[in-house]
Amino acid sequence: MIISMSATATEAETNHVIDRVRELGYQAHVTRGVERTIVAAVGAGHREELAALGAAPGVEQIVAIAHPFKLVSMQVKQKRTVVDVGGVPVGGEECVLMAGPCSVESREQLMTVAHAIRDAGASMLRGGAYKPRTSPYEFQGLGIEALKLLREASDATGLPVVTEVMSTEDVDVVSEYADMLQVGARNMQNFSLLRRLAKCERPILLKRSPSATVKDWLLAAEYILAGGNSEVVLCERGIRSYDPDMRNTFDLSALALARQLSHLPVVADPSHGTGRRDLVPIMARAAVAVGADGVIVEVHPCPEKALSDGPQSLTIPEFAALVQLLGQPLRKHLRQQPKAATA
């Protein structure tokens, strides 16, 4: 339930409500705004006793949270969350561009891409150190060596790093080198990993599973917020379909809906969403049009030689052209706040 304190509520009255919520076995998540304070009571049981707080001094109203995801809901926090990633705000006025190779293959490859995307206008560097692959015989990533190279590239360019973490055992070491930890699509419902990341002092990029509903996706984010980490960015990367000409179906409607239902930032991954470099620019533009807070794309100096995801990787000139396509005037014109969901 959402307990809205009145504009004139005192600190003592607010603290009384928080204490009572906790006595009833609920978590009390407090949002202090300019005009009023909101206390979100998250848990189960004792609903009648919780509802009785409506009579407590300083309480303006109590409203039931309509969705199973509580803390990520716009009901709990109507002001959109801005996640700071190494000094780059994700979810603010600007659409953030994250770019880099699918896999870190060598120092030369990574440094070439990092400097080029920085000069073209990227805000963050992405790159895979640990690569989950469908086949055990395909390139699996350079591991710790790649993490060190990503840190070196970040130091050289000033671009914060986002890279995937695959297991609970890797969280500490990835956190040491990366500014943001990515949960890949295969791990969206790896609840042990989500609980561990809830205790991690790094922002999290949570990709949607190829078979997940928007509700599933937001509930996965709820695990992280409920555990104590509110720095979560959602990422739409396409869902599984029957069309053999594309890797996935890039679900723009889900991106728009997630921004209506949740206060968390939502970014788009048209590289995985389509699997085709020729479709990446136009789908990136479409994602910005429906409100994406950022775009994450794969870039390689020579895609035909890439050890992973070459067909969906942009060349460096193609990335520079994408930056021009998603220029500042276009972002201001297209990105509008969606209306709140009514159902």
> What angle, rounded to 10 degrees, do the helices at 214-226 and 252-261 form?
40
pLDDT band of residue 35 (cuts 50, 70, 90) is confident
Which tens digit of pLDDT belongs to each residue from 274-306? Answer: 999 999 999 999 999 999 999 999 999 999 999
> For residues 5 and 41, is the Cβ–Cβ distance under 8 A?
no
Based on the domain organization, do 165 and 258 belong to the same domain? Answer: yes
Q: How many domains does the chain have?
A: 2
pLDDT band of residue 263 (cuts 50, 70, 90) is very high
Which tens digit of pLDDT belongs to each residue from 82-120? Answer: 999 999 999 998 899 999 999 999 999 999 999 999 999
Does some domain include residue 78?
no
- State how far the Cα of 34 lies from the Cα of 56, in Å rounded to an integer: 22
168 has a pLDDT exceeding 70: yes
Mean pLDDT of 324-335: 57
Based on the domain organization, do 311 and 222 belong to the same domain? Answer: yes
Does some domain include residue 76?
no
How many helices (H) and strands (E) the chain has is answered by: 12, 14
Q: Quick one: pLDDT at residue 242?
A: 86
Based on the domain organization, do 47 and 151 belong to the same domain? Answer: no
Which tens digit of pLDDT belongs to each residue from 242-252? Answer: 888 888 999 99
**Chosen domain end from 63, 95, 114:** 63
Based on the domain organization, do 169 and 296 belong to the same domain? Answer: yes
**Chosen domain end from 63, 91, 114:** 63
Does some domain include residue 227?
yes
Based on the domain organization, do 317 and 233 belong to the same domain? Answer: yes
By three-state DSSP, how is residue 232 classified?
strand
Q: Quick one: pLDDT at residue 332?
A: 40
**Chosen domain end from 16, 35, 63:** 63
Q: Quick one: pLDDT at residue 65?
A: 77
Q: Quick one: pLDDT at residue 339?
A: 47
Based on the domain organization, do 54 and 105 belong to the same domain? Answer: no
**What range does the domain containing 7 cover?**
2-63
> What angle, rounded to 10 degrees, do the helices at 144-157 and 107-120 form?
30
Based on the domain organization, do 140 and 244 belong to the same domain? Answer: yes
Q: Quick one: pLDDT at residue 176?
A: 96
> For residues 8 and 43, is the Cβ–Cβ distance under 8 A?
no
Q: Which of 185, 191, 193 is nearest to 210 (CA)?
A: 185
Which tens digit of pLDDT belongs to each residue from 204-234? Answer: 999 999 999 999 999 999 999 999 999 999 9
Based on the domain organization, do 263 and 192 belong to the same domain? Answer: yes
Based on the domain organization, do 197 and 327 belong to the same domain? Answer: yes
Does some domain include residue 74?
no
> For residues 174 and 181, is the Cβ–Cβ distance under 8 A?
yes
317 has a pLDDT exceeding 60: yes
Based on the domain organization, do 263 and 200 belong to the same domain? Answer: yes
335 has a pLDDT exceeding 50: no
CA distances from 8 to 53, 77, 125, 203, 325 (A): 17, 20, 46, 34, 49
Kind and range of the H or E element at 322?
A: helix 316-325
Q: Identify the residue with better confidence: 29 or 224.
A: 224
Based on the domain organization, do 208 and 287 belong to the same domain? Answer: yes
342 has a pLDDT exceeding 70: no
- State how far the Cα of 218 lies from the Cα of 77, in Å rounded to an integer: 14
47 has a pLDDT exceeding 90: no
What is the identity of the amino acid at 200?
C
Q: Quick one: pLDDT at residue 192?
A: 97
Does some domain include residue 70?
no
Mean pLDDT of 171-197: 97
Q: Quick one: pLDDT at residue 61?
A: 87
Task: Give the CATH number of the domain where residue 210 resides.
Answer: 3.20.20.70
What token pair was written down for 317? 């000139």
Kind and range of the H or E element at 99?
A: strand 96-100
Does some domain include residue 73?
no
Does some domain include residue 341?
no
- Give residue 309's region: left, alpha or beta (phi > 0; psi -120 to 50): left
The edge-to-edge listing of strands for the beta sheet with 2-5 is 27-32, 37-42, 2-5, 59-63
Based on the domain organization, do 143 and 21 belong to the same domain? Answer: no
Task: Give the CATH number of the domain where residue 14 resides.
Answer: 3.30.70.1140
Does some domain include residue 33?
yes
